[in-house]
Structure 1
Amino acid sequence: MSPVRIQRRRTKGWRKPEGAVVVTRPSRFGNPFTIKGAIEWGGAETTEQARELCTTAFRQWLRGNRDWWMGDKADATRDRILAGLPELRGRNLACYCPLPEPGQPDHCHAAVLLEMANQEAR
């Protein structure tokens, strides 16, 4: 079975499924691009537009595009995330972003991590 993204919850009694990796912002795999930031600099007007923009920025930045964030801290953060991708291979990933409707794109950085971590195995 292919790994999937799980929506993490703050509700009483919810537990992360065994073996899943939490990739929320405080983790080493967190997305440095924020919804608030996407809206503040004018790239997005709604939360959904901002989520999509943050996911696009994260994907492009991990692939080496320095237009979104540059400098020593950005490079060190990117290197740390990329070095950790093998740890995510084959694992379910948990993030707070809402899951997409069936057939819709998944605008969450965890979807990018799933894609990249499992693509490397090929």
Structure 2
Amino acid sequence: MPARLQRRRTKGWRKPDNTVIVTRPSRFGNPFTLAGAVEWLGAETPEQAREACHMAFQSWVRGSDQWWMGPEAAATRKRLLDGLHELRGKNLACYCPLPEPGQPDHCHAAVLLTLANPT
């Protein structure tokens, strides 16, 4: 079963086999930023900002224009969705911290895992 991994910038960290990096600026990066979540959505903590970005990404990637609209948003979403097959069966790596056991995963990579690997 594919999993979400935390990408690291530490010396010696290597991307594991069967893993795709989904950070910005990859085609799979989350267009919603933590700074934007603080500025426009009123997030007050890093966790609130991650949750807001996750929520906006999940809504947007599934077709909502509530968070980002216009030709650029539609083209970016289409490009991402057209590439989902590349993620099927792969682990996904992002810089977001991994959740504690039993806690929800507020990373866009968790959304991508679900979309790329439907049950």
Would you say same fold, with TM above 0.5? yes
The unaligned stretches of length 5 or more in structure 1 are: none
- Aligned counterparts of 2:83 and 2:56: Cα–Cα separation in 1: 19
Secondary structure at the residue paired with 2:12?
A: coil
Q: Is the 8 A contact 2:41 2:52 kept in 1?
A: no
Change (3 A) 1:68 1:46: same
- The TM-score, its normalising length taken from structure 2, stands at 0.97
Kindly indicate whether the alpha-carbon contact (under 8 Å) linking 1:90 and 1:118 is maintained by their aligned counterparts in 2.
yes
- CA shift at 1:61, angstroms? 0.3
Which aligned runs of 4 or more in structure 1 are off by greater than 6 angstroms?
A: none
Give, in whole Å, the separation in 1 of the partners of 2:35 and 2:49.
Answer: 8
Q: Measure the CA separation in 2 of the matches of 1:43 and 1:68.
A: 14
Q: For residue 83 of structure 1, what is the amino acid of its counterpart?
A: D
| 2:20 counterpart residue number | 21
Residue type at the aligned position of 1:18: D
The residue number in structure 2 matching 1:76 is 75
| 1:23-44, Cα deviation, whole Å (9 max, x unpaired) | 0011110000000000011431
Q: Equivalent residues in 2 for 1:1-122 (5 A)? A: 2-119=1-118, 122=119
Deviation at 1:92, TM superposition (A): 0.2
Task: For 1:43 and 1:82, locate their aligned partners in 2 and report how far apart those are by CA, in whole Å.
Answer: 29
- Report how far residue 111 of structure 1 moved: 0.4
Per-residue CA deviation, residues 89-112 of structure 1 (Å, 9 max, x unaligned), is: 110000000000000000000000
Deviations 1:53-79 (A, max 9, x none): 100100100111001000000000000
Alignment RMSD = 0.8
Do the aligned partners of 2:37 and 2:53 also contact (CA within 8 Å) in 1? Answer: yes
Q: How many angstroms apart in 2 are the aligned matches of 1:110 and 1:47? A: 17
Structure 2 residue runs of 5 or longer lacking an equivalent are: none
Residue 113 of structure 1: CA displacement? 0.2
